[in-house]
Structure 1
Amino acid sequence: MAEFGRKICIVSDAWAPQVNGVVRTLETLRSKLKARGYRVYMVTPKWFRTMPCPTYPEIPLALDARWKLPKLMSRIDADAVHIATEGPLGWAARRWCVHNGVPFTTAYHTAFPEYVEARTPLSADLLYPIFRRFHAAGSGVLVATATVRDLLRAKGFTNIVDWTRGVDTAQFHADVGDAEWGFEGPVQLYVGRVAVEKNIEAFLEADTPGTKVVVGDGPAMAKLQAAYPDVKFLGPLFGEALAKAYASADVFVFPSKTDTFGLVMIEALACGTPVAAYPVQGPLDVLGPDGTGPFTDWHEPIAALSEDLTAAINTALTRDRKACAEFAKKYDWDEVARQFEAALQWQDEGAEAPEVQAETYTP
């Protein structure tokens, strides 16, 4: 065992400066694992030559992963490997692990087959066998919700492991303060990538009074700005500014029909802002079909789900903000880190995750 605890290597094609739920999840996970005493190494595009992803230039794709990654993985010599994404780095890491007999886990963060289907003529059904092959080589594929678990099982995926999500309530909370926008209310907020698969136009077309606000960036930004001049496009926000944006809105609108979880919904709730969404995967698992969430000991509505997004927005505006903030506390990051730790496959076969001390080492 290393002097300061075992080494965990997380490979991800998604990393800063990208702004999305996968990146925020992995950033928080890294800090939690390090606090538990692990040495955490992130293998991300920043170590490689990259090119912009076609149709999505904000995402850098590693060009030299196949040749450079093996040396990097050998040098790290991790006790456990987790492959978070199915991009060039993910495939290169999978190849290295299989070739060297190194066990690893994977995660299904994003419904990539559906994303590709939304952007290209390719059908999601044609892509699922490729993704099934990718994940089948690992010892476990981590999924955030029951809906995704059932979907992947129906598609022939095996070794599925539940791994919930959490919210950083030290950053996102109802007392964070107001953004002082001065917009006419009710203020309806969207936060996330500004891209076709997020179905943002459904939100912008909703027949509701007040002001619609979009926080984020992406390939659809220019088109939407031109089509909806009355909408306030604020670009990406971070840290306290993002938390204040959540807290200043009267309702958070989540129009996506393809997200597997939707971390932004929990962040908004933590800031006391109710959520309006469609009754699809992600919202159903996080918010519950009746807007009271999935927990048996909670019955207060904190969201509204409807096939009519305008109706969902109007209903969500009636939800109690204090209840929203209290509900979000159920998504605890310590439990997220514990589940991830328990799912890891350690190189010394059959070993349990060790008891480690508070972190004293920063790689």
Structure 2
Amino acid sequence: MRILVATDAWHPQVNGVVRSIEALRREAEGLGAEVVTATPEGWPSMALPTYPDIRLALVTASRLGPRIEAERPDHVHIATEGPVGLAARRHCLRAGRIFTTSYHTHFPDYVAARAPVPRAWSYAWLRRFHNAGRGVMVSTATVADDLHRRGFSRVMRWSRGVDHRLFRPRDASVLDLPRPIFLSVGRVAVEKNVEAFLALDLPGTKVVVGDGPARADLEARYPEVRFLGTRTGEALAATYASADVFVFPSRTDTFGIVMLEALASGLPVAAYPVPGPRDVIGDGGAGVLDEDLGTACRAALAIPRARARDFSLGYTWSASARQFLGNVTRVRAAGAAAS
């Protein structure tokens, strides 16, 4: 089976959507499938307003459609709701192609954090976008229930995983800083609620890995915090393993792959008791969820690193890929039965 994934999120972006698609493409081969992509690469682009690091492809269905068909896909999956996703959706509807989508981001919350746009308007647009497909894949049961209540149809589960060979406990530390070290990894932007972490009164050192539009302001206002910028691969994995607690201050993420990377590295997680952390961490003992994030951080210090690592072993990219391919197989079978 040959699957084309249309996505606006792609390199040089570093985020959960990109990681998920890369892992799917890598794991699918061993499961008898091939994943190819339609991305912003090769198209003219413009910077996303208020977010210059993200480029939006200037592409239409009439231009993207021939490229999709040239790949001869058995199935099309649309990962994002940006220009590439919109163009792919329009082409599939015109061509009578069955397609699925995925819901990675609480887009209405992100928009509301930047502009006075009612969330109901954003959800109405998203509902129209996703309900045109044969299924919308979401990462957790909480998100699935929320979208069901909002009128999204044919919601399917697609969980996430982590590379346990890369993200693992290590003997040597690459962070020569006063301990304990509290680490946060992710986009440094208003919707990620990073300042809730930075403002905490904690012992030791606070470290932030990542970049984004809010970094310059936050770095100037919190000079005691170590901002390390974007790190990937071995450099990122070694940084995780050198910290003591992973702090996840976001209240809007649908999952949070960085939590899995931290857990696999032996870091207990401190987070708010909100969707995402509740689904990933729950009451499994690998982290502490509390409305007082500082209390969660201090309590997480008592959790053994081995417990965090063991907990992470329940999440693999292989299982994630099998779940995705199972969704596609069921959609295709239902389409064939209906025709």
Q: Percent identity among equivalent residues?
A: 53
Contact 2:168–2:237, Cα closer than 8 Å, also in 1: yes
RMSD: 1.4
1:13 paired to 2:3: no
1:96 paired to 2:82: no
1:213 paired to 2:207: yes
Which structure would you say has the larger RCO, counting Cα contacts within 8 Å and 6 or more residues apart? 1
Gapped regions of structure 2 (runs ≥ 5):
none
SS at match of 1:214: strand
Quote the Cα distance in structure 2 between the aligned partners of 1:66 and 1:55. Answer: 26
SS at match of 2:296: helix
Cα deviations across residues 170-201 of structure 1 (Å, max 9, x unaligned)?
A: 111113x4342210011000000000000000
Letter in 2 for 1:97: C
Per the TM alignment, residue 74 of structure 1 is displaced from its structure 2 partner at its CA by 1.7
1:350 paired to 2:333: no
Quote the Cα distance in structure 1 between the aligned partners of 2:39 and 2:102. Answer: 15
Per the TM alignment, residue 334 of structure 1 is displaced from its structure 2 partner at its CA by 1.5
Letter in 1 for 2:31: R
Residue of structure 2 in register with 1:270 after alignment: 264
Contact 2:59–2:84, Cα closer than 8 Å, also in 1: no
1:334 paired to 2:329: no
Quote the Cα distance in structure 1 between the aligned partners of 2:28 and 2:113. Answer: 35
Residue of structure 2 in register with 1:190 after alignment: 184
Contact 1:103–1:347, Cα closer than 8 Å, also in 2: no
Contact 2:101–2:136, Cα closer than 8 Å, also in 1: yes
1:162 paired to 2:157: yes
Counterparts of 1:133-152 in structure 2, within 5 Å, are 133-152=128-147
Quote the Cα distance in structure 2 between the aligned partners of 1:179 and 1:79. Answer: 47
SS at match of 1:51: strand
1:246 corresponds, among 240, 251, 262, to 240
Quote the Cα distance in structure 2 between the aligned partners of 1:320 and 1:274. Answer: 8
Quote the Cα distance in structure 2 between the aligned partners of 1:97 and 1:193. Answer: 32
Per the TM alignment, residue 274 of structure 1 is displaced from its structure 2 partner at its CA by 0.4
1:259 corresponds, among 250, 253, 259, to 253
1:68 corresponds, among 60, 63, 71, to 63
1:319 paired to 2:314: no
Cα deviations across residues 97-128 of structure 1 (Å, max 9, x unaligned)?
A: 01111001100111111111111111212210
Quote the Cα distance in structure 2 between the aligned partners of 1:282 and 1:40. Answer: 27
Quote the Cα distance in structure 1 between the aligned partners of 2:267 and 2:219. Answer: 25
Contact 1:83–1:105, Cα closer than 8 Å, also in 2: yes
SS at match of 1:16: coil
1:172 paired to 2:167: yes
Contact 2:109–2:119, Cα closer than 8 Å, also in 1: yes
